[in-house]
Structure 1
Amino acid sequence: MSTAPAIAVAVVFVWLGMVLAISFIEAPLKFRAPGVTLKVGLGIGRLVFRALNTVEAVLAAVLVIAIVLDPPRVVTIVAVAVAIVMLVGQLAIRPALNRRSDTVLAAPDSQDPGGRSRAHFGYVALELVKVPALIVAGVTLLA
């Protein structure tokens, strides 16, 4: 395997691992930890997801460069494109999530902020599409 495909494989699996670890393990579990209030959890989540999305954007750029340098099969290109489009969608949803968390963080502790926002469900839905796309991209790059 030459350099560009090797980099592409590494980037895809690092990206996948980060998404799985943060979105599907850290994010839900932090709210179950003793002493973590909704406000503290949201504050942590904002920082973590801003960092995750920044790293994802860098990984996506590196992946695109690797693919341009040594184009893989069409199925891989489509899977990578799907993952990148999902990331762009998430970046577009982030301002709505930030507005919602601003509202919750500004509310008195006694006020019930209600359930999750539609933006949150949208973000999760995009994540649920991005993960299989990254799996397909990684597996087809190795094949």
Structure 2
Amino acid sequence: MSTGSAVATALTFVWLGMVLAISFVEAPLKFRAPGVTLQIGLGIGRLVFRALNSAEVLMAAAIGVALALSSPTVAVIVALAVAVGVLIVQLVGVRPRLTRRSDAVLTGQNAPRSHAHYVYVALEVAKIVALTVGGILLLSS
């Protein structure tokens, strides 16, 4: 395995671990903690997901550079391109809707529950699948 492939593999699994830990462990649990109101939970969630998404963009870029320095298979490129595409859809298409709702809730408005949240979760699942497949393909190449 070349250095570029090794770096891409490591970053892919770090990215996968971050998404799993934050989206499927931290996010739902914070609302179950004693004293955490919807407003506090949303405020924390916005900070955490802003940081996660920033880290994801950096990791995607670093994976791209690492892959450019190696000879990845088409399958690896497709799998990781799907993960990056999903991230872009989340950032450009879904996050603004979630931000508008959380802005309304944080200012005290009684905003209706957003279906965009379910879309975001479905995209997280798709991203997890793409990162898992990409990581496994990198390991096997």
TM more than 0.5: yes
Partner deviation per Cα, 1:10-39 (whole Å, 9 max, x = no partner): 100000000000000000000011110000
CA distance in 1, matches of 2:60, 2:119: 20
Tell me how far apart the structure 1 counterparts of residues 71 and 16 of structure 2 sit (CA, whole Å).
20
Counterpart-to-counterpart distance in 2, 1:63 and 1:71: 13
Give the TM-score taking structure 2 as reference length.
Answer: 0.95
C-alpha distance in 1, partners of 2:71/2:134? 12
Q: Do structure 1's residue 46 and structure 2's residue 46 form an aligned pair? A: yes
* 1:25-104 alignment runs, 5 A limit: 25-92=25-92, 93-104=94-105
The partner residue of 2:119 within 104, 116, 122 is 122
Give % identity.
60
Q: CA RMSD in A?
A: 1.1
How many equivalent residue pairs?
139
Q: TM-score, normalised by structure 1?
A: 0.93
Which runs of 5 or more structure 2 residues have no equivalent in the other structure?
none
> Could you tell me which residue of structure 2 aligns to residue 105 of structure 1?
106
Q: Which runs of 4+ in 1 moved over 2 A?
A: none
Whole-Å Cα distance in 2 between the matches of residues 106 and 10 of structure 1? 41
Counterpart secondary structure, 2:71: coil
Structure 2: distance between partners of 1:114 and 1:103: 10
Equivalent position SS for 2:32:
coil
Amino acid in the other structure paired with 2:35: G
Gaps of 5+ in 1: none
